Amino acid sequence: MATTHKSGLVVGARTFPGNPYDGRVLREQIEQSTILLEDIGVVPKQAVVNLGFRGVDEDNPGIEIIHRGKHKSLTAPQRRWLRRRQAIEPVIGHLKSDHRMDRCWLQGESGDALHAVLCGAGYNLRWLMRAVQRLGLKALLLRLQLDAMLRAISRLAPTRDGNRSLIVG
């Protein structure tokens, strides 16, 4: 799983058959996240990882890899980012318990890959709906729907017999 640093949205979910070593999968995970984020023009610059990813700096040029094995050489902001790394564990827990990632019912490696991406998308949709509710955007969305309905009603024009019909234009 790959999440954003600040908001915790899932920006990459990938499966690797055969349970490979963590250090060998970082490049593919960053590649998937880059592909998924290219539409909004964001490129990952840092990867905050656990100690399983030591020694993969040369495999990932252009990405700053931060882990606690480098603690003495880290700057203060990097140390704060390192503490934030613990936030992915609850995301994985929620994906397993709330979004049915604990068991894949799809067949084969492609089914596993599809299941991981769909669980991540479901997590993001749920996150978005909670944000809409928390920020009071629900009223704004209802207002936009009401405005759209009023515009559609105003486009109804009376005919000669007094009935209203929709003008398609």
| Single-letter amino acid code for the residue at 150 | L
Residues 116 and 95 in one domain: yes
Q: Total domain count for the chain?
A: 2
Contact present, 33 and 2 (Cβ < 8 Å): yes
**With 60 as the cut, is the pLDDT of residue 22 above it?**
yes
| Single-letter amino acid code for the residue at 14 | R
The pLDDT score that the predictor gives to residue 169 is: 34
Residues 156 and 115 in one domain: no
Structural domain containing residue 85 = 2-134
Task: Give the tens place of pLDDT for each residue, 41-56.
Answer: 888 888 888 777 777 7
User: Counting Cβ atoms within 10 Å, is residue 47 exposed (0-12), middle (13-18) or buried (19+)?
Assistant: buried
Residues 84 and 119 in one domain: yes
